[in-house]
Amino acid sequence: MKKILGIIIIFFVFALCIKGCIKADIPENDTKINLSETKKEFTYPNKNKNVTINGVHYIQSQAPVGKFGGELVISTIGEGPKTFNPCNSKDATSSEMAGLMYDGLVSTHPATGEVMPQLAEAFHIEGNDYYIYLRKGLKWTDGKPITADDVIYTYEEIVFKGLGNPSAMYAMMINGELPKLTKIDNYTVKFTTSKPFAPFLRQLSYPIVPKHYFKPYSDKGASAFDAFLNPNTKPSTIVSNGAFILKEYVAAQRVVFERNPNYYKINLNNEKLPYINKLVFLIIGDTNNQILKFEAKEIDVIDLKGDNVARYKQQEQNSDYAIYNLGASTGTLFVVINLNNRTNKEGKPYINPVKQKWFQNKNFRSAVDYAIDRKNMVQNIAFGVAEPLFTAESLNSIYLNKNIKGHPQNIKLAKELLQKEGFEQKYGRLYDKNGNLVEFDLYTNAGNLEREAIGVMIKQDLEELGIKVNFKPIEFNSLVNKLTKTYDWDMAIMGLTGSPLEPHDGINVWASRGPLHMFNMRDSKDNTDDRLEWEKELDTIFEQGALKLTYSERKPVYDRYQEIIYEENPIIYLYSPTRISAIRKKIKNIFPTRLSGILYNLDEIYIDSGCPVKENTRSGK
């Protein structure tokens, strides 16, 4: 009989009760939310408008007018941001916080997925030419104007050179060629691609940075640029353009932002947004502490995991919070296997050559896949508030390959696959055909209790095959360093964010030279002559898929890439949690969507404390 985690079994019966009724009890809020104070229904999307006041070209929000003032306190799990440089962020926390400080030329509509102007006031496409018209009158936080020179610098000297996080560079390449960029005038630029390129317009959401502030560091090279805007940077020295300005960072405790008083978004009364004076991120070690903080009213928003959903739902009616069901996660949760069989500078293999042979073996990887009990994970870790996942695209992706049905755990088949490759179980332990005990390390990031529970279950599942797994939760930065720099790891439980609208955003993972090609990482000096046949096919797929311009043309191409991953198992997908959030009722202008979540519009959100707040200065004065 399979072992069940002791900390989980207490909640098992309670979880089964909610599993059958979760969809009926929690409204799936896509575009319509009732505003209790007006008893009117406000529908998002309403497209923003362009409004010019005193020569400044603003974005006018169409959300209901709110109150200025107050603070919103949210939380982040882990060690906090690794950088405030938006061009160098490689983790979700750093990217989220940098995203508050720096805007791109375009953004994505939170409900429809449509590309919307942001720093750009407008854009149009003529063949392979993309004309971008910047808003006039906008300024950096140090008072200097935002112009085409900043756009040219950001792309030509950072993105196209692969400084910081090179993922954007890979995403913009067409057969290894980057677009051309031309300055038309101080507020107009033109990008020219070598061929029609379906994902290109979305790539222009990359944050624009101030040339006068960033260039002294980018000129010094990659090392200096990577260190630029590290967490020890004095907040008052940072020059940015986003809705919020960094006010304070206290390591392992909190990150505090304050509103940018000269942000270029206004409300229906032409008052400058955002409404909130202060935005606080508490840095919390794990999800248990996060729950305690929410219940103590120290934080205002929380993503609920399965075991807490039933309890919070029962208490909702008499509480100060509301619960929203945001549908399946837009990210993916998986086990990645190290297929790297290259050697380091000293000529030594990155991992034990014996393990290399196991991991390179397709039947070995398939045996691991069949041994994993996803149903058990869904029931006992996610408490039924999730679905098994077998594809590289998330369950809410418009490119999801629905022909991939997956499979239940099958220990018998897993053993047969191993026997085909000469593996043999003796006295409860598995040995390869050369008599080597099958034993390896499984890593994940410490403090993420969900992933730690997954690790324990996978360890138990693989014990049924006789495999000895050494499960090792470690600090997140150390884990990322292993996966992308030193390559000295065996298997790891990880997660990635993703876009349900654009598979090409995953090219940094699937391209053989991609900076997140974790299962077979290559550095910039490695050639690709050693590509596996299916790696070559993945390269071709992501080159071709971006050049096809219609959904009907692209869908079969991206269906095939999902089939390859499912068949080859370099990454084994586990399950997709249902995103359920609780948020204080005092927080208004909340319009949750499946695509963007619940806090995507922080510049429009306000706090209704019941007390009148002095009107903010109008943008036109």
pLDDT (0 to 100) of residue 107:
95
Evaluate whether 391 touches 404 at the Cβ level (below 8 Å): yes
pLDDT digits (tens, 9 = 90+) for 458-480: 999 999 999 999 999 998 889 98
Percent of the chain with pLDDT over 70: 90
pLDDT (0 to 100) of residue 13:
30
Averaged pLDDT of the chain: 89
Q: Is residue 282 part of a domain?
A: no
Q: Is the pLDDT of residue 345 over 60?
A: yes
Token pair for residue 136?
Answer: 């006039």
pLDDT digits (tens, 9 = 90+) for 480-529: 899 999 999 999 999 998 889 999 999 999 999 999 999 999 886 777 78
Confidence of residue 232 (pLDDT cuts 50, 70, 90): very high
Q: What is the CA radius of gyration of the chain?
A: 25
pLDDT (0 to 100) of residue 619:
47
**Once rounded to an integer, what is the mean pLDDT over residues 104-115?**
92
Q: Is residue 416 part of a domain?
A: yes
- Measured CA to CA in angstroms, residue 366 lies from 418, 446, 496 at distances of 9, 27, 22
Q: Is the pLDDT of residue 2 over 80?
A: no
Evaluate whether 563 touches 557 at the Cβ level (below 8 Å): no
| Integer Cα distance of 143 and 325 in angstroms | 42
Q: What is the CATH number of the domain that holds 516?
A: 3.10.105.10
- Of the ranges 35-44, 215-224, 286-295, the best mean pLDDT one: 215-224
pLDDT (0 to 100) of residue 449:
87
Q: Is residue 151 part of a domain?
A: no
- Which domain covers residue 450, as residue numbers? 332-577
Evaluate whether 607 touches 274 at the Cβ level (below 8 Å): no
How many CA within 13 A on the CB side of residue 445?
20
Instruction: Compute the C-alpha angle 240/179/202, nearest 5°.
Output: 55
| Integer Cα distance of 203 and 104 in angstroms | 9
**Once rounded to an integer, what is the mean pLDDT over residues 387-396?**
96
**Once rounded to an integer, what is the mean pLDDT over residues 379-384?**
92
Return the HEC string of 206-252.
CECCCHHHHHHHHCCCHHHHHHCCCCCCCHHHCCCCCCEEEEEEECC
**Once rounded to an integer, what is the mean pLDDT over residues 528-542?**
92
Give the total number of structural domains in the chain.
1
pLDDT (0 to 100) of residue 16:
31
Confidence of residue 77 (pLDDT cuts 50, 70, 90): confident
Strands 468-474 and 439-445: parallel
pLDDT digits (tens, 9 = 90+) for 346-361: 889 999 999 999 999 9
Q: Is residue 422 part of a domain?
A: yes
pTM over 0.75: yes
How many CA within 13 A on the CB side of residue 531?
17
Evaluate whether 28 touches 325 at the Cβ level (below 8 Å): yes
Confidence of residue 286 (pLDDT cuts 50, 70, 90): confident
Q: Is residue 67 part of a domain?
A: no
Q: Is residue 468 part of a domain?
A: yes
pLDDT (0 to 100) of residue 44:
58
Q: Is the pLDDT of residue 6 over 50?
A: no
Q: Is residue 80 part of a domain?
A: no
Q: Is residue 365 part of a domain?
A: yes
Confidence of residue 91 (pLDDT cuts 50, 70, 90): confident
Token pair for residue 180?
Answer: 């051309």
